[in-house]
Structure 1
Amino acid sequence: MNPLDQLRAARPDHLDTPADEHTRAAELSYATSQARPTRTPAQTRKSGVLRPGWALGLAGVAAATAVAVTITAIGGTAPAPSSPAVAGDDQPVTRLSAKQVLLVAAESSLKARQGSGAYWYVESTSGNAQQVGTKVRYTVNSLGRGQTWIARSPKRESWWVSQNLGTKPAPDSEAAWKQDGSPTRWTVTVTKSADTKARLTVEAKGGEPFSNPINMGDKVADLAGENVSVAELQALPATPADLKAYLLKRYKGHGTESNAPQDADSWLFQVTAGLLSDMPVKPAVRAAAYQVLAGLDGVRSLGEVTDALDRKGQGVARAETWPTGEFERQLIVDPRTGILLTDRFVAVAPTGTYGWAKPGTVVNWNAIVKAEWTDRKPVKP
């Protein structure tokens, strides 16, 4: 069954009652009325290759658009699930289910052009929230920018460039920051294991960009915990059943970042989100990935939400258990384009590093600014 047929089957019964074309147009406009994002490729822990990333805690994610952005300090709390736009003055308000959002994104992905170019270029911004303060406690956000050039040919080098954009008080913490003396340097405590903690210093001042080659032979990215080449990514199965089977062959009962136990659906949600966020795959594979997500249990709709770059999209989420407590992983999608804008983690019942966070606090995010094939060569600092 293709995504459009699945979408029709997933429609709530009340939407199949007679309605005029204006109502149907309003429903479709709501379903497809948002924006776009990226995540840097990563190599497995086994390979020993550098894993790009700026978050101090949980990993981030998202996937593609060319938009001008201004980096601001974002954090705070995730908005409560919002109601979608009304279909008409006298029509009931309708929210798409998570499955419907994902199937619309799958259908849009199928219409995208494959693209050409020597490099798959991904640009992203990320943030990580921390609690600091001496006189009073408040939240600051450590921000970063990442750029990745994945060479289509194994004869070319693939590069990753990262830059620390500095640490800033969260918007709702500025008064507390001033009360604390307006410091520009903070010490934060990070839980490394059940009995090990580390103290890190973060500063308001950003740093110079630095870079590294990321390829090992023809291997340029991490998919499901294994290093893969561009050729392997381009050859991924393009049906949801086959793609799911391909990924599950690599499932070992734990996450790709640690040996902490992780159930298969949570693992699939994590791995598939990573594929959508920054992998150079064919449009049909992106569509299949959205269909895999649509078939998972426990995925809920958030309605319209705004990401760290102030872009609106449709949010879907799934609860996850980490060594640092209970979180919800939220994906913000532009259903019109099939673009994954942002991958973020929201506190539910956190412990350890994020034990300070109130439920609903966005503790970590990765937002895609651009993801495209290009002939522009890597810009190396």
Structure 2
Amino acid sequence: MDDYQAVRELLPAPPLSPEVERAGRERLAGAFAQERVRRGRKIARRSALGLVLAGAAAVALLTGVLPDRPVVTHGAVAPANANRILLAAATSVAATSDSGAWWGSKLIDGREFYDPGHRYLLRQTKSVESWIPADPETRTWYRETYLGAAPASSQAEAAWRAAGAPTSWTYGKNAPDLITDEGPPGVVRAARGKPWTFSSEDWDFRIVLAGKPLTRMNEVPETPEGLRALFSGVDDQALVDDVVRLLVYAPVTSETRAAAYRLLASMPGVSAVGQQTDTLGRTGQALEYQSGEFAFTEYAGRTRNRLVIDPATGMPLSIETRDTADGRLLRFTAIQESVWTDDNPLKEQK
């Protein structure tokens, strides 16, 4: 199957009738009953090699990967396939423009955790906006805004109201919330904060790889082989982590993004979970994998990472950390926008 066929299969399809969908699921269930492939997982050591991107939060630990699930494509039910999804994303993203003086990135970082009484789930979020210049001698601009905390679902909202609809929650030193400047440490506040805009000449246009600084994004290879060589010396889990971070956070060329997807397609341990809705309500194709990194979450159980991709553009929509046992969302970064442009609205406001 070539990349273009993969794109055609992953384009949005018209909804199925209940009868057709039921019949397709029954056929798929029968096929799975006859032939089930169990994929082993090799837990590799955590690599000392880190990919540090300016202003980017590290993704969380994964210790489990789900088997492939069905996905609807053009009126038929077919098993999701990570290789097909990634090659389709590579073809789509290679067609996007990467010209401009600034790489603008607007992210929503969030966590979900229980209130101190463990009665309902809260979702706390903040927006992180960065404008990275193509010229490495130019300052990078940032704006962060605390977006507040609220019940994570309608069920949680009912429990929150029954508890008196509090507007703040006190946890103490080991609060599970995001690090913000809103209120004292250990206290989560519902109210939105004020935007904080600043610039830096240190966090400009860099990736640091084991002491090898790259001060220009055109130094990043544009082939899967080149990226594999760039990230040499790490195990498979660390390589997947590095490539995913590059896709989500780095202001690289469209050819480099395409190469990153093709490299992921060749990696073991990346599994498709089919069509999913991300935390901002957008639909995309989801992949899950086991991370080799330290889990940046207070949750003590087993977790997995989920990368959601827009099949139309090939751009990542979000990266999420979920509980392996029940799929509960623990933390996430949703990409509202990432684009090359000649305008920097933060700089123009100063």
Q: TM-score range by the shorter chain?
A: 0.7 to 0.9
In structure 2, C-alpha distance between the alignment counterparts of 1:28 and 1:373, rounded to whole Å:
23
Residue 272 of structure 1, CA deviation: 1.0
Residue 298 of structure 1, CA deviation: 1.2
Residue 325 of structure 1, CA deviation: 4.2
The correspondence for 1:372, drawn from 334, 339, 347, is 339
Q: Does 1:97 align with 2:106?
A: no
Report how many aligned residue pairs link the two structures.
294
Residue 287 of structure 1, CA deviation: 0.7
Q: Deviation per CA, 1:340-377, whole angstroms, max 9, x where unpaired? A: 1111111126xxxxxxxxx3111111111111122223
Q: Deviation per CA, 1:128-164, whole angstroms, max 9, x where unpaired? A: 1121143x52110111111101011133211121110
Q: Does 1:205 align with 2:184?
A: no
1:150-189, aligned counterparts within 5 Å? 150-171=132-153, 172-188=155-171
Q: Does 1:128 align with 2:111?
A: yes
Which residue pairs with 2:95 in the alignment? Answer: 111
In structure 1, C-alpha distance between the alignment counterparts of 2:190 and 2:210, rounded to whole Å:
34
Code of the residue aligned with 1:370 in structure 2: it is E
Q: Does 1:329 align with 2:296?
A: no
Which residue pairs with 2:126 in the alignment? Answer: 144
Change (3 A) 1:189 1:130: farther
Residue 95 of structure 1, CA deviation: 2.9
The correspondence for 2:315, drawn from 336, 339, 344, is 339
Q: Deviation per CA, 1:79-130, whole angstroms, max 9, x where unpaired? A: 9976322544xxx5113301110011112222222322x2111111121112
In structure 2, C-alpha distance between the alignment counterparts of 1:130 and 1:80, rounded to whole Å:
27
Unaligned runs of 5+ in 1: 9-23, 35-44, 61-78, 193-197, 252-263, 350-358
Code of the residue aligned with 1:213 in structure 2: it is S
Change (3 A) 1:185 1:365: same
Code of the residue aligned with 1:332 in structure 2: it is V
Mean Cα deviation higher: 321-330 or 105-114: 321-330
RMSD: 3.4
Code of the residue aligned with 1:93 in structure 2: it is V
In structure 2, C-alpha distance between the alignment counterparts of 1:269 and 1:50, rounded to whole Å:
15
Q: Deviation per CA, 1:302-341, whole angstroms, max 9, x where unpaired? A: 1000011111000001123645442111100112211111
Residue 170 of structure 1, CA deviation: 0.6
Residue 293 of structure 1, CA deviation: 1.0
Which residue pairs with 1:361 in the alignment? Answer: 328
Which residue pairs with 1:352 in the alignment? Answer: none
Q: Does 1:52 align with 2:55?
A: yes
In structure 2, C-alpha distance between the alignment counterparts of 1:165 and 1:80, rounded to whole Å:
35
Q: Structure 2 length normalisation: TM-score?
A: 0.74
User: What SS does the aligned partner of 1:344 have?
Assistant: strand
In structure 1, C-alpha distance between the alignment counterparts of 2:103 and 2:244, rounded to whole Å:
18
Which residue pairs with 2:275 in the alignment? Answer: 304
Change (3 A) 1:245 1:213: same
In structure 2, C-alpha distance between the alignment counterparts of 1:360 and 1:137, rounded to whole Å:
19
User: What SS does the aligned partner of 2:312 have?
Assistant: coil
In structure 2, C-alpha distance between the alignment counterparts of 1:200 and 1:59, rounded to whole Å:
23
1:286-305, aligned counterparts within 5 Å? 286-305=257-276
CA contact (8 A) 2:53 2:208 kept: no
Which residue pairs with 2:205 in the alignment? Answer: 220
In structure 2, C-alpha distance between the alignment counterparts of 1:266 and 1:50, rounded to whole Å:
18
Unaligned runs of 5+ in 2: 14-48, 61-65, 176-183
